[in-house]
Structure formats: structure tokens, C-alpha cells
Structure 1
Amino acid sequence: MSTAAIKTSKISLLALFLTIFVDAAGMALVYPVLTPLFVHNTTYLFDPTVSEHFRNFLYGFVLAIYPIMMFIGSPLLGVLSDKYGRRLILIICMTGNLIGLLIMGLGVMINSVTVIILSRIISGVTAASLPVAQAAIIDLSTEQTKARNISLITAANSFGFIVGPIITGILSYPFFGLAPSLSAPFFFAALLPTATLYFLIAHFKETYPGNKALKLNMGIAFQSIYLAFRNKATVTPLWILTGFLVGYYIFFNYMSMFALLKFGYDQFMVSVLLGSFAVTFATSFLFIIPKLTSCFSLNKCLLISIAPQFVCTLLLVLFTYVTMLWTVAILIGIFVPCSYVVLLSILSNKTEGEFQGRIMGVSSSVNSFAWGFAPLLTAIVQPYSILLPLVVATIILLATLFLSINYLRNIFSSSLVATVPDVAS
């Protein structure tokens, strides 16, 4: 490869890194703002007569609409990237990110739930930058550089989740006696996709020209989900993935609301909590997972990472102290990435090479479904008890643990049968 080609490739990788980072940062900065905005009755978003139950339901709905629209939009944008190329779709995704942030800031400023929901719809539909960027990374990579480049994309995603709450925390802190603004983080964060858009348009070189003859068939994406859940080799790992993600997302989506209701956390402290959680998440991806998977088999890693999650949520239900919340958040931040990576690896190992893309797409769809379903479930049960969402998460994680144990027991039994010599022969 020539020096010019290497330079072009590095610039394209940087553009992809920025795209993923900005997308994740915009996604993460929403949580510290939405919680006080919807849950506290001190803003002008709702009339004072609006019930807490209705406000909590809308809070869950606004959290859920983003991943639901991502579930719908990602397969479409993924297919479009195969037809028209990566560059155009990445520009569309980043434009949607920019518009979504500006509309969200406007919705918060004018106290309009409708405008806030509209912003979440736009942001969710165009939130396909990660799978499209992964496809572009594969286009740019050799067999020797593929794993490293994909890890850079994962790091960019984790780094974005760290920076998002930091932006919110800084802009929500009353420096110099100024009142914090709930809309300021969105307008400030809009500078990030603006700069990234310029970088994509000016410097990113197309990695895949597209296949204009490709027919758009959205049914294939959803058919793949159905077939994967019918496949004996992948059905149980997929149900384990679904269960653990629903349990995790109940905890993650409810964490900031629980901190606000139980411990009186304000927007700044919620940002600190979520930022710390994201740091732990990134640390697990970069350091703990490689060490764990090098020391133990995938099956052992699954049990090692699933079991503590149930224990953590149970401890928070039994001991509702602020120190316990922070401890559980740190531990969940360590073990959830382990479970996710291990389950993706198990699913990949159970799938033929030509269907690797499809099973990863199915896994992404399961993630989007769990992410959207969890806040809706939380919104339904939370009005009955501040602890009930955590109880539900604990029950789901316990059921997932039992399913994992049964799955591993069956694998162990099958391996014993396979190694027993045939006496009759």
C-alpha cells in the first residue's frame, strides 16, 4: 500500500472513530437531563396537576422510543449502505444526530413533550452509525488489522458514553452563581456532529461503492431474527442474551431515576454517576474481558459474568444505601460487557461463516428490543414501589442465570456422551 493510501486510510479511520464517539456522546448526555425534567415536578414541562404516574410513564416512553426507532431504522440504513455505499449513509446518520440534538434542545427550552419525542424519533431512526461504521472498518481492514480496528470503534463508543454525561454535568453545574440550563447540553453537543459532518464530507473516502443493483428487502432482516430463534444451536444463547439485556437495561435506565428519588441526586450528580459507570464499562472492554477470556473458556466466562449481576441487583433491593448503589453500578459495569461479548462469541461460534453478518444483526436487534422494552416495563411497575423495577430486574436476571446453568449443563452432558466409547463396537 502506498504512503498516500495509508494516509487516506488513517484519515477515514479517524472519521469513523469521530462518528461513533459523537453518536454515543449524544446518546448518553440525554439521561441526566430527562430524569429531572420528567420526574421532578419543578419544571414547566408539565402542568402541576399532571400525576406522577403519567409523568413516569412518559419518561419511560421517551427513553424507549429511541431504541425502538433504532430497531426499525438500523436494518434499513444497513441495507441502504450496501446499495449506495457507506459514506452517504454515515452522513445521513450524523445529520440526523445533529438535527435530533437541536430539536431536543428546542423541546426542552420551550417545554414541549411533543418536540422532545420528535427529536428522539429522528435520532433513533438515524442511529445506525455503529453497524455502518463497523462495515466500513471491515472494508478498510486486512485480516491482521481487523480486530484492532474494531476494538478502536468499541473504544470510541465507550469514550462517547463517558464524555456525554461529563458534558451534561459541566453545563448543568451552577458556575459563578448562574442557574443551570437543561437545554444547554444539547445545543453545545450539537457542535460535535457539526464538526464530524465536515470531516466526513471533506476527508472521508468511500470504502465501498455500493451495489446499485441490490434489491431492498427489509423482510430479510426480520426473517433472520425468526430463523435464529428457531435454530437449535442459537435459540438458547439468544434467549439468555435477551433476558440478561432486559435485566441490565431495567437497571441502567432506572439508575438515574432511583438516585434522584431515593437519594435526591440532582442533574450534576446523576451525570457523575453515569460518567463513572461508563468509565467502568470501558475499562471492562479494554482490560478485563481480554484477561478473563484468556484464562477461562467462553462457557465458564458466561457463568462468571451472569451470576454476579443477579447478586448485585438483589443486594441493592435489600440494602438501599447510596454506597451500595455506587458499588452495584461499578460491578454491573464490569460484568455486563463480559456477558455481552461472551454471548456474541458463543453465537458466532454456533453460526456458519456465511451467516456471521446475519447473527450479528440479530444480536443487535435483540439489544435494541431489550433497550426499548425495559423502560416501558419500568414505567408500568415503578408507580407501585420505588424498589419494584429493581425487583423485576433481579427476577429476570435470576431466570437468565437458571437458563444459563441449564444450557451449560446440557453442553457438559453432550460432551460426556461424545467422549464415552461405544462398548458394542
Structure 2
Amino acid sequence: MSSAPADKIETTSRGSLAVVFLTVFIDLLGFGIVLPLLPIYAAQFGVDEHGIELGLLMASFSAMQFLFAPLWGLLSDRIGRRPVIMIGLSGSVIFYAIFGIATEWQCIWLLFVARIGAGIAGATISTAQAYIADTTSLENRSKGMALIGMAFGLGFTFGPLLGFLAAPSGEGDPGPWPGYVAAILSAGALILAWFKLPESMPRDSAVRSSNTHRGLSLGSLRTALGTKSIRGLLIAFFVCVFSFANFETTLGMMIHGSRLPGSPFHFSFRAVCLTFAFIGATLAIVQGGIVRRLAGRVSEGTLAATGGIAQIIGFLLIAAAVNTGSTGVLFLALAIIVGGFAFVTPSLNSLLSRRSDPEKQGEILGLAQSVNSMARIVGSGLGIPLLMISMTLPAYVAAGLMAVGVVLVIAAARGGSDFETETPSEAAETETI
């Protein structure tokens, strides 16, 4: 193959990566505006004292991602990545607007509608990951996945800051504008994708996929789970994300402290937004400035295991911060937890894409997103009730689970090879499982 076409492909890939980065970033701005305030909104609407209804509300978003991520991934393998990303952005516009209406009316069931719809629309993140896989080489795959993580981090940095600015006052009801601003930003991402986002799959590849994939069959799931290295990675994914979801979904309520008698923290909702902005900035700095530099030099398994160990330390520091009432220890713990998470997710995504059939990457990454979402369903559903029992209990549970996750990550990383380098005997063994 001559160098000229390769250079052209590399240039095209860089431009495509820039556009998909901006698209994900703008869409995540909207998500970042809403997430920190969601538990506070729901608490103001009057939910049960055990936190079960609030846990279900937080879990509903992830439940829809669990159901729809593999469907979006499979559909993107058939019709292309661009149309699926466009559908997801359109849904975000609609359901964030409904979120604003729900908060204005203080209607809990409409808030459920908004979160369920946003979960369906947000499940297309696996398609964005498949887009990255389409436009990067195996050597640069982990760097590309870290780019998505950096977009998440920046979205979580500036999203809460915009939520801070969209709220009319520092106390009381945050009002409907965070939801409306999120809808406006998603509309901006939709416009950007419409004019600037090219299709990443060759036309013949899309046609070939459309002829071979007719649905999310049990056979396709068995094929993915029957590959030992992919199965191990998916289990590791579940445990790591489950432990993080305990922290993520309880943080807003924990630092706001309004429904937790004896809480040492009493942040205003604006302070909650600034805290999440700090989390997003940490995530962006670590993934954009450290993980991307280490990717390709250090193995994905080593990066993921290192991140998991850091999270264990951070979760234990969260419990110490609650026991001592120290805001300084709290923010140190947040930096360590989020920094560790920044190492884990892009590394596991990169390993998954490297070990997947290129023709089925959308499907496999969609399955991974469903596993991610299932972990968040369980983590969200249990995290808030655990918080109601004891403010330190979610942190201790998360630390214990992450210890298991580190072991699973190491085992999965050592137990497989890239799809292209799989030997015939390994392929035959996979088919017989």
C-alpha cells in the first residue's frame, strides 16, 4: 500500500476525531448540568425517606442505557455511526427540555419520563466509541478512547459550571433553567454533527453488516461472551463501574446534606455544581494529560489496575472525610477516585475494541455499554439506600468491590490477545464454547 492513501486516511481520521470529540463534549455539557442537581431536585419534590424512589430515579437512566446500548451499537453496524449519533442527540434535545418542564412543575413522574428518555438517547455513547475504533489504528486505539473520556471530563467540568450560572440563586429551588440550557446545548451538538460529522464506516462495510446482523440475537451474545478474554473484560467492567456508581450517585446528596441528619457537609446547590466541576476538571486533566501520554507506552491492563488501586485508596479517604468532617480530605479523596477512574475506563474500552472483530465493534462496545449501565443500575439503586443507613457505607462497599475489580482486570488483561493475532486453535476453542 502506498503512503499517500495512508496519509490521507490519517488526516481524515484526525478531523473526524476532532468533530466526534466536540459532539460528545457539547452533549456531555448538558448531562453535566443536570447530574449534580438531580438528587436535590428529587428531594425537593418529596420522595420516600428510605431513598428507594430516588434510587429508582437515578437508576432509570442507566436502565435504559442497558437496554438500548447494544441495540444502538448493532444498528450503527448496519446503517452507519453518523445516523445513530444524530438520533441520540435529537432525543437529548427533547428530553432535557422535558426535564426543565418537570422541574418547573415539580412533577416527579415527568422527571422519570425525562430521565428514561435521556437514558435511551444517551445510550448512543457506544456508537461514538465505535466511531473512534473505526478511525484509529490498533496502536492509537487507547489514545482515541481516552479522547472520549476527555470529552466526558470537560463536559463534567463546564456542565456543572453552566448549571451554576443557570441557577437564579445560591439557595432554594435551582429552577428549570439547567434543564433548558442542557436542551439548547444538545441542539448545538446536533447542528454540529449534522454539518460536520462524516460517516466513519465504508459504504460496503455498512452494507455487509446490514446483511449479516438482523437483530440482537442470543447467538451474537454467546459469541461475545464465549470469547474468554472479552467475557473477562466485561465482568471486570461490571465490578469496577458498580463500585464507582455508589460514589457517583450518592455524592450530590452527601455533600448537600439536607436529607441526612448529622451530615458534616452542608453545601449549597451552587457549591454542589462547583464540586462536580472540580471532578470533571480532574477527569479531563488526567485522561487528556496523563492517560493519553502513557497510552501505547504502558499496557492497558497495567493502566486499568493502577487506576483501580487508586480508587480503593480514594474510597477509604471518603469514609475518613465523613468521619472527620474534613472538606480538605473530601476533595483529596475526590481527586484520587476520579483520577483512578480516568485510567480504568478508556483502558478497558481499548482492550475490548482490540479483541473484537472489526465488523462487530459497534455490537461489542454496545454490549460493554450495557454492562456498564447494568452496573450503574445496581450501584444507583443500592447506593442511596445505603447512604440513608450510613454515610460511610457506600464508600466501604465501593472499596471492597474495587479490590475484586483489580484482580479481575489483571486476570482479563493477561488472558487474551488482539483479534487479528488470534491463532486458529484459539478461534476453534472459542467456537466450541
TM range (shorter): 0.7 to 0.9
The equivalent position to 1:217 in structure 2, one of 211, 214, 231, is: 214
Alignment of 1:298-377 (within 5 A): 298-320=300-322, 321-347=326-352, 358-377=363-382
The answer to whether the Cα contact below 8 Å between 1:34 and 1:59 also exists between their aligned partners in 2 is no
Alignment of 1:398-413 (within 5 A): 398-403=403-408
Alignment of 1:3-402 (within 5 A): 15-39=19-43, 43=44, 45-46=45-46, 51-53=48-50, 56-137=51-132, 152-172=147-167, 174=169, 181-208=174-201, 210-211=206-207, 214=211, 217-220=214-217, 223-261=219-257, 262=263, 263-293=265-295, 296-320=298-322, 321-347=326-352, 358-402=363-407
CA positional deviation for 1:195:
2.6
The answer to whether the Cα contact below 8 Å between 2:69 and 2:367 also exists between their aligned partners in 1 is no
- Provide closer, same or farther for how the CA distance between residues 100 and 6 of structure 1 changes in structure 2, counting only shifts above 3 A: same
Deviations 1:140-167, CA, capped at 9 Å, x for gaps: 6688987776654443333222221111
Aligned partner of 1:399: which letter?
V
- Cross-structure match for 2:430: none
The answer to whether the Cα contact below 8 Å between 1:241 and 1:343 also exists between their aligned partners in 2 is yes
Deviations 1:54-86, CA, capped at 9 Å, x for gaps: xx2222211111121112122222233333333
Aligned partner of 1:190: which letter?
A
Residues in 2 aligned to 1:202 and 1:346: alpha-carbon distance in whole angstroms: 32
2:229 partner SS = coil
1:182 partner SS = coil
The answer to whether the Cα contact below 8 Å between 1:20 and 1:129 also exists between their aligned partners in 2 is no
- Provide closer, same or farther for how the CA distance between residues 149 and 404 of structure 1 changes in structure 2, counting only shifts above 3 A: closer
Residues in 1 aligned to 2:144 and 2:229: alpha-carbon distance in whole angstroms: 29
Residues in 2 aligned to 1:362 and 1:324: alpha-carbon distance in whole angstroms: 37
Q: Greater CA deviation, 314-323 or 207-216?
A: 207-216
The answer to whether the Cα contact below 8 Å between 2:321 and 2:327 also exists between their aligned partners in 1 is no
**Which is bigger in relative contact order (C-alpha 8 A, separation at least 6)?**
2
The answer to whether the Cα contact below 8 Å between 2:315 and 2:399 also exists between their aligned partners in 1 is yes
- Provide closer, same or farther for how the CA distance between residues 16 and 402 of structure 1 changes in structure 2, counting only shifts above 3 A: closer
CA positional deviation for 1:298:
4.4
The answer to whether the Cα contact below 8 Å between 2:149 and 2:342 also exists between their aligned partners in 1 is no
CA positional deviation for 1:340:
2.3
Residues in 1 aligned to 2:34 and 2:188: alpha-carbon distance in whole angstroms: 20
The alignment's C-alpha RMSD in Å is 3.6
Residues in 2 aligned to 1:336 and 1:240: alpha-carbon distance in whole angstroms: 13
| Structure 2 unaligned spans of 5+ | 258-262, 417-433
Q: Greater CA deviation, 19-28 or 234-243?
A: 234-243
2:106 partner SS = coil
Taking structure 2 as the reference length, what is the TM-score of the superposition?
A: 0.79
Aligned partner of 1:275: which letter?
A
| Corresponding residue pairs, total | 398
The answer to whether the Cα contact below 8 Å between 1:36 and 1:266 also exists between their aligned partners in 2 is no
Deviations 1:189-222, CA, capped at 9 Å, x for gaps: 22222233333344545455543953663333x6
Residues in 2 aligned to 1:192 and 1:182: alpha-carbon distance in whole angstroms: 18
- Provide closer, same or farther for how the CA distance between residues 183 and 203 of structure 1 changes in structure 2, counting only shifts above 3 A: same
Residues in 1 aligned to 2:185 and 2:98: alpha-carbon distance in whole angstroms: 15
